[in-house]
Amino acid sequence: MRYKQYDANLDISGFVNHPLQMQSIKISSKVDEETWNELKALARETHRNVSGLLTEAIGEYVRRKRVRPEVLNHLEDSMNENEELGKLLAK
């Protein structure tokens, strides 16, 4: 099967991984030049825009770093259930 070659100037990021269009805000930040150049290269290679890649990266970072309340509740329950074992292991 032959695949159609993509136009390097075609930006399809508005159609990829964005089920609902959300309102965008403008931000300003600093990043080291090497990382910025890598991000721009990735955008070109994947036919996406830098803004879309940054939005995706920030979202993934926040989801990875945020501890969900149900995880904390499970941890607390587990610690309560195993309090005696914890005391024995501490001896």
pLDDT, tens digit (0-9, with 9 covering 90-100), for 31-46: 999 999 999 999 999 9
- Determine if residue 86 is left, alpha or beta; phi over 0 gives left, psi from -120 to 50 gives alpha, anything else beta: alpha
Yes or no: say if 8 and 44 are a contact pair by the CB < 8 Å rule.
Answer: yes
Of the chain, the percentage scoring pLDDT greater than 90 comes to 46
pLDDT at 72: 82
Give the separation between CA 85 and CA 44, rounded to whole angstroms: 55
pLDDT at 88: 87
| pTM score above 0.75 | no
